[in-house]
Copies of this chain bind each other. A is one copy, B any other.
Amino acid sequence: MALDPGVATRLKRDPQGLVCAVVQQHDTGQVLMVGWMNDDALEQTLTTGRVVFWSRSRGEIWRKGDTSGNIQRVRSVSIDCDGDAVLVTVDQIGPACHTGKHSCFEEGGDLGALDVVTAAENE
């Protein structure tokens, strides 16, 4: 199957032909991970109920959970105003991160940004 032309024409792909895919747990709102999709991965994500990425490191289509069992069931897919990113809400089975952490951002961790709002409240 080819990606719906009405969707394909809205995509603003990077030089590698990819758009950014933000994956969010549908009920808690937790951002679980960021992946990358080519047209084929987005088409499969839109039509099969499973989240499918393009693996930039392996250079191949990657259906999340086929190896780990930690699949992502699609709830919705939205595109942003300029077409270079999609937001995929999912029901995540098991952890999203390959390290076993629930979110890839829990694994990477906080970078200690200056938080002006909290700093002001504590003055």
Taking CB atoms and an 8 Å cut-off, the chain A residues in 71-123 that contact chain B are 73-88, 91, 97-99, 101, 104-118
What is the oligomeric copy number?
2
Contacts of A9 in B (CB 8 A): none
Which of these, B74, B91, B104, B116, contacts A113 with CB under 8 Å? B74
Does A34 belong to the interface (CB within 8 Å)? yes
Query: A114 → chain B, closest Cβ, in Å?
Result: 5
- Chain B residues near A34 (CB-CB < 8 A): 20, 22, 80, 84-85
Q: How far is the CA of A84 from the CA of B16 in the complex (A)?
A: 15
Q: By the criterion CB–CB under 8 Å, are A110 and B31 in contact? A: no
Q: A44 to nearest B CB, angstroms? A: 10
The residue that A80 contacts in the complex, of B77, B81, B104, with Cβ under 8 A, is B104
If A20-B20, A77-B111 are given as contacts, then 7 extra A-B residue pairs at C-beta distance below 8 Å, sorted by A number, are A45-B113, A74-B116, A75-B115, A75-B118, A79-B111, A81-B97, A82-B104
